[in-house]
Structure formats: structure tokens, C-alpha cells
């Protein structure tokens, strides 16, 4: 995954929308969370504080940062045959 963005999405005359933010955050995983976060940071950089796309983007930036550093747990912790995957932070 690259941090490069579609030139059309970043065109100065184009209004950034909540759907633009959601398109980037769609299938976020711990492996790509920080790259997606950086793309959203660039996408919303020039928007006013009260812009809906900026508000959604800031919310998603927080979620992606947490996901990127703590990972995700798969499976239920009390399932006998399925051990939850540890966070990457736990493996360091």
C-alpha cells in the first residue's frame, strides 16, 4: 500500500467529502493503518475545523493510530480451539 493519493482527489478545486475519507478507511488493517492515517491527514489538511469531512477524518485518524500500534484481536479469548492473535506491540 502506498501513501500516494489520487491526483483527482487532491485537486485544489475539488471539495473533499466524508465519502472520500470513508473510501480510504474502508478496509483498514493493522498492517496498513498508519499509511491510511497519513493519507487521511493529507486529505483533510486544508479543511476548516467544522467541516464534516475533517471531523470524520480526525475521528478516523485516532482509530487508525490505535489500530496501527496495538493491532487487533481475532477470535474470542475464551474459545478453546482459537487463540487470539497478539498485538504487534506484544511481540517487541
Q: Which three cell numbers stand for residue 46?
A: 486544508
Helix (H, G, I), strand (E, B) or coil at 19: helix
Residue 64: what are its φ and ψ, rounded to 5°? -70, -35
Q: Specify the pLDDT at position 38.
A: 94
pLDDT of residue 84 exceeding 70, the answer is no
pLDDT tens track for 39-81: 999 999 999 999 999 999 999 999 999 988 887 766 555 666 7
Residue 6 or residue 82, greater confidence: 6
Q: What is the mean pLDDT of residues 7-23?
A: 83
Amino acid at each position: 500500500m502506498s501513501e500516494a493519493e489520487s491526483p483527482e482527489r487532491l485537486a485544489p478545486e475539488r471539495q473533499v467529502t466524508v465519502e472520500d475519507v470513508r473510501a480510504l478507511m474502508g478496509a483498514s488493517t493493522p498492517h496498513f493503518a498508519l499509511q491510511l492515517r497519513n493519507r487521511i491527514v493529507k486529505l483533510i489538511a486544508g479543511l476548516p475545523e467544522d467541516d464534516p469531512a475533517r471531523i470524520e477524518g480526525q475521528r478516523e485518524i485516532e482509530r487508525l493510530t490505535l489500530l496501527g500500534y496495538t493491532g487487533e484481536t481475532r477470535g474470542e479469548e475464551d474459545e478453546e480451539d482459537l487463540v487470539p492473535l497478539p498485538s504487534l506491540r506484544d511481540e517487541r
